[in-house]
Structure 1
Amino acid sequence: MKTLHILNGDATLFVFKQTKIEGDILVWREILADGPVSKTNLWELRSDWISKTFGENPANYQQKVITEAEKLNHLDKYDEVTLWFEYDLTCQINLIYILSAINYRKDNSISLICPETIEGMPNFRGLGELNPMQLKKLISQKVKLQKADLELANKAWDLYIENDVEQIKDFLTQDFRNLPLLKKALKAHLLRFPNPSTQLNHIEELLLILSNSGISSKAELYNAFWAQENIYGLTDLQLDHILTRLKERKLITKELF
């Protein structure tokens, strides 16, 4: 049986290679939960935004992201697709895009490995933290997805693009079947809409509170943020971008090193 493993990033890839698990690999390197998305011209839109926001070279983006993602167009040669993802918003939005791009076939097994917790790791944040034995043991948690799960993911992706608060709230009232962590992630996403009274979202408000609490370094600030809100899966590069916006609005004036 020929299997494609879709991994959520290079940190997972590093550990996965050591497990000797058989199969081909697709490494997902996009962060669709951050920045603009669209039903059309998605990769052109993303390449432009990633390049301007994070200083990525468009040629590198093509090679590292788009070329890998194009493997989704050739799933017919696999008997099984196994997705290795995490509980946070970043992973869940990537996941629903990928599932929306997969055409369901009864003779093609689509499975998900997506732990929320790991025994013995109270501060578990991601698959890349695991050792090869821990990662390999997760195969026993593999859940086979059904057509209804892919349809739910496709609807969630459409709603994420439309970005309508009330529609997302309505969507959250249904049974999320084999994608229960998506519900938690979308609830966190709703907190990214601006508070009408402050015009700041939950992430911005928390960063402001933390920066005014006596914290004097970015490392300390980011660790304090992750301790409270690991649900977002934000990297230090993404937090840098948010801090820059807050500084441009003169909401943060002190320098953090």
Structure 2
Amino acid sequence: MAGHKYARVRDHLLRRIRDLPVGGQLPAESVLCAEYEVSRITLRRAVDELVQDGHLVREHGRGTFVTHPRYHLKHRERFVNEVTGFYTQLARQGHTVTSEVLTQESTRAGTRLAALLDISPATPVVRLERLRRVNGVVHHLAESYVEEERFPDVLTTDFTAISLYAYLRAHHDLLLARNEIVVGLHLCDGREAGLLDVTEGAALLLATSRVFEPGGKPVIHGTSKFVPETAELSFDIVADVE
């Protein structure tokens, strides 16, 4: 799939340019296309994302060059053809992401969550709540639910410096095939305001997601509450051209 090809090219290019000096020039598009055996569309998509993240800069008529990574006030979570978590995305951009685990408990699914995860309301689930920081600054409040019987170690694993998505891939061979996302506004309560250092009742960006494995079974339900002044959400919809 084109999405997977672009992601492999982007990740390899990122590793490659980290070994180049600022001002170093990338080979011509035609050379890179031949090297990676991809189309110009796929290559440009990979390079475009590295430009957006501040690792590369294009100079008209001259080429593409390595630049200093930008450390924006706003850290963007991008939703694309691959399913990754916030931790992985920001780490790729050169940021330090840490999580303060606020809640890690077993609880009964209940009617609403049972419908979202396609399980019985009486099924035990693990609730994982984390306060995420980027470069030491509070960024958002994340809450995730997984089925406890299937992923019992999520109840005891230290998620201070690791991604839940990456952990499930590595320790449970879980393939994450699709992320269904709904974005809206949420007025924060007193507890959330204290954690995110905003005024009670302030409007937050709320991203609600369900992550599915191949075959269509939902395996993770989560919410992320972002402060609009320091975060933005980006959706990248690309046709499958290869």
* TM-score, normalized by the shorter chain, greater than 0.5: no
What TM-score, normalized to structure 1? Answer: 0.28
More strand by percentage: 2
